A = this chain, B = another copy of it.
């Protein structure tokens, strides 16, 4: 900040630079370049941009069923009858839903909004695990496959393990819990794969 002061950037412009810089992955140089560019956008564009920003707070909420981002009480995926509602992918963020939708996943989702991460103060009660349990208990469906699609990081793995145990406690339902496969990414080189990925790719091998 002190550095900018010396450059005498007008206050309203500096304000915008600061807001842009607060975005993840946007550094001071990029924030500055973006702000100077925005200066020369047509006024209508800027007004609509500001409106779009405000509307993500006023028009969006979490789906009552799966906790994904939605502009209605039940999201478009949960209300899609062509989806297999007995197949639920449990993911940690709404961005994971976008990725799995692109991969043409046929089931529905449950968005945890985080992972269990005790070192950073996040316990099981801080993410939507309870809501997943209730959702399954209250469902009219009896046979479920729950795919744990959390990241393959340590926190993702332990979150998957924790939820798997919780799901086992549900009575009156037939629940199969699975984990997305770990292995070499498509197009990946064996030479450059790390030990753990490679050993999991080996143990997860399938007949061809």
Contacts and interface: CB of A to CB of B under 8 A. Distances in A.
A33 B38 contact: no
Interface stretch (A56-64, A128-136, A156-164, A185-193): A56-64
Interface of A: 3, 6-13, 15-16, 18-19, 22-26, 30, 32-39, 43, 45-57, 59-60, 69-71, 75-77, 80, 93-95, 98, 101-102
Contact of A38 (B15, B23, B71): B23
A55 B24 contact: no
23 contacts: A3-B102, A6-B101, A7-B98, A8-B77, A9-B69, A10-B69, A10-B75, A12-B55, A12-B60, A13-B71, A15-B48, A16-B56, A22-B45, A23-B34, A24-B34, A24-B37, A32-B95, A46-B53, A46-B57, A47-B54, A47-B57, A50-B51, A50-B54
